[in-house]
Amino acid sequence: MEYPFGMKSIQGRTIFAGYACQKAFVIRHDKPAFSREKCADEESRRRELVHYREATESVDASLRALMDKGGADEIAILEAQCFMLHDPDFTSRIADLIMKEGHNAPHAVELAAADVIQSLSRLGSEMFRGNISDIQDIASRLIATLLKESLSNIKKLESISLIVADTILPSELMSMDPSLIAGICLDGGGPTSHVAILARAMNIPCVFGLKDASCLVKPGSLVALDAFSATLYIDPDEATAMRIRRRKEANDEELKALAEDAVLPAITLDGVRITLECNIEGLDYVDSSIRNGAEGVGLFRTEFLLMGEGRTYSEDEQVEIYSSIAKSFRKRGKLTIRTYDMGGDKVVKDMSVAEDNPVLGWRAVRFCMDEKNIFRTQLRAILRASACRRIRIMFPMVSGSDELDDVLAFFESVKEECRREGLAFDEDLEVGTMIEVPSAAITSDILAKKVDFFSVGTNDLTQYTIAVDRGNEKISYLYKEYHPAMLRLLKMTADAAHRSGIGLSMCGEMAGNPALIALVIGLGYRQLSMNPASLLSARKLIRSMNFSSAEALAKQALDMTSCRDIEDLLEKFNAETRDKQQG
């Protein structure tokens, strides 16, 4: 919408409610544009060759400067990149492309890198995955240097700002100081993408689907975000800026008041106790979870450890991390560690490979069962940390009985190894599987006989059941966790768990969504794990609802055939609950 005096507003979709009014930090990931026109004469080819050689020297110097600041792991990566930079095959191919074929320097680098990547990919060995990302990195550095452009502006975030980006990777977000991020506005993005999950976990007001915001907002200009109504104001007038700042203050006060109830149990009006746990991505999320009254960790997304620093952690380092989190929660509940679930949008440097369908590809336990050394190290660390008897383990993306059998057999072999070495661990350690693939939900009666608990991941379960990419804003109108197919799968899974007498929890975003909590509870889920930020409102809601009404709601919803009817039903139920809360 256009306003007088240049103010403009864009409407998106709320990911995490809140307000912010700050200067914009704009991030765009456009590929650097350069001409691919060929050099006409010998003289210009020579000039291009000189430019390329100068760029190589400059990249070499910048890599060495980074080495001076880095630790052992960073130095090893940078040394490998330096090696690539000067690799005779690579450099002579670039020289030939310039001198013999007449390509300009950036295009020659681009073509030579593509050649190297293609031959490495053809070899198909996992060993070369790191080399591929090194060559990509080197090529982008060379091209950026040739074009005198900076590689990325992300690391330059130095003062509190509102991020306005075309897109952002979870690893990019994690490399930033969260205390400097006042809000996040993305052109695209899906509601349960990992950036959305991180924004909620970091308590950062966030709106996705703002179309071309990252083109319209000038870097450093003032922007105001009302993430409750999902509105971004570009160049707000003084009255708008003031209104958003006042609302932010009032909202902060309200949250403070809610936090005072964090010690109260989540118990319905008719006396049914619901356990509220938290989802965490690392040590940084522990304090806020405890402050908000989490009764344990229902999901520790350990792959975020790898994404943060782009390296694997040693067994001892992992034991230290897991033990310290378990210790923080020891008086409240257990720490549920999910083994690495990289893949999809969770790209881990030097581990992830380019795939046509990464979401359906080599990820989670599929990756771990191929990369047994990485998996074994993690399993040993979890086992050793479990000696405190406050830990549970669960496996992600399990698609059925055979896959689960293989994973459990490998886990048994690692246990045996630990026993032989005399390492102490919890012999009664509870083992669970995520239910987040439709085939697992459909065969949940079979899987229930093999594990101690299920944890339902509705983010992926919705994505795979409805065939709707959870990160794609264009089709997010189809992403409905209350789709009749989902309700049937959720009920089927809950029934299978109850019949086998195993534990059941839900850790997808659905569990913390105030509009869906009653439905989830009514479907039979009494253990909910959510973003730390959602705990306060979830507790308030549960304390003001009747379990019997939630059950009746779920029963009615299960009988319905259309998403729209279920939406109306939920709307009506939630409006009545709100009225009761206020009156």
Q: Of the ranges 111-119, 225-233, 456-464, 475-483, which one interacts with ligand PEP (CB under 6 A)?
A: 456-464
For position 296 contacting Mg ion by CB under 5 A, the verdict is no
Output the six-digit token pair for 302.
């350990």
Contact status, residue 59 vs residue 145, Cβ threshold 8 Å: yes
Contact with ligand PEP (CB under 6 A): which of 508, 512, 522, 532? 508
Instruction: Report the distance separating Cα 556 and Cα 558, nearest Å.
Output: 5
Report, in Å, the least distance between residue 437 CB and Mg ion. 9
Residues 6+ apart with CB under 8 A from 426: 383, 386, 387, 388, 389, 391
Contact with ligand PEP (CB under 6 A): which of 298, 457, 471, 532? 457
For position 303 contacting Mg ion by CB under 5 A, the verdict is no
For position 161 contacting ligand PEP by CB under 6 A, the verdict is no
**Per-position DSSP letters for 452-496, written without gaps between them:** SEEEE-HHHHHHHHHT--TT-GGGGGG--TT-HHHHHHHHHHHHH
Instruction: Report the distance separating Cα 460 and Cα 466, nearest Å.
Output: 10
Report, in Å, the least distance between residue 39 CB and ligand PEP. 49
Contact with ligand PEP (CB under 6 A): which of 104, 458, 500, 527? 458
Contact with Mg ion (CB under 5 A): which of 457, 471, 512, 522? 457
What is the maximum span of the chain, computed from C-alpha positions, in angstroms?
86
Q: Of the ranges 7-15, 198-206, 250-258, 457-465, which one interacts with ligand PEP (CB under 6 A)?
A: 457-465
In the DSSP assignment, the letter for residue 98 is H
104/476 with CB nearer ligand PEP: 476
For position 459 contacting ligand PEP by CB under 6 A, the verdict is yes
Q: Is 368 a catalytic residue?
A: no
Q: How many CB atoms lie within 10 A of CB 442?
A: 18
109/201 with CB nearer ligand PEP: 201
Residue 295 interaction partner, one of ligand PEP, Mg ion, none, beta carbon < 5-8 Å per kind = none
Instruction: Report the distance separating Cα 56 and Cα 50, nearest Å.
Output: 10
Q: Of the ranges 84-92, 380-388, 421-429, 451-459, which one interacts with ligand PEP (CB under 6 A)?
A: 451-459
For position 460 contacting ligand PEP by CB under 6 A, the verdict is yes
Interaxial angle between packed helices 458-466 and 484-500, expressed in degrees from 0 to 180 and rounded to the nearest 10: 130
Contact status, residue 288 vs residue 532, Cβ threshold 8 Å: yes
> Amino acid identity, residue 527?
Q
> Catalytic one among 103, 107, 194, 483?
194
Instruction: Report the distance separating Cα 472 and Cα 440, nearest Å.
Output: 24
Residue nearest to ligand PEP (CB): 457
Instruction: Report the distance separating Cα 369 and Cα 351, nearest Å.
Output: 14
Give the binding-site size for Mg ion (rule: CB under 5 A): 3
25/464 with CB nearer ligand PEP: 464
Task: Tell which positions 428-447 bind Mg ion, by CB under 5 A.
Answer: 436
For position 341 contacting ligand PEP by CB under 6 A, the verdict is yes
Q: Is 507 a catalytic residue?
A: yes
Report, in Å, the least distance between residue 510 CB and Mg ion. 12
CA atoms within 13 A on the CB side of 426: 19
Closest residue by Cα to residue 453 from 501, 415, 403: 501
Report, in Å, the least distance between residue 209 CB and ligand PEP. 19
Contact status, residue 473 vs residue 189, Cβ threshold 8 Å: yes
Question: Which residues sit at the interface with Mg ion, rule CB under 5 A?
Answer: 436, 457, 460
User: What amino acid positions are annotated as catalytic residues?
Assistant: 194, 507
Question: Which residues sit at the interface with ligand PEP, rule CB under 6 A?
Answer: 197, 299, 301, 341, 436, 457-460, 507-508
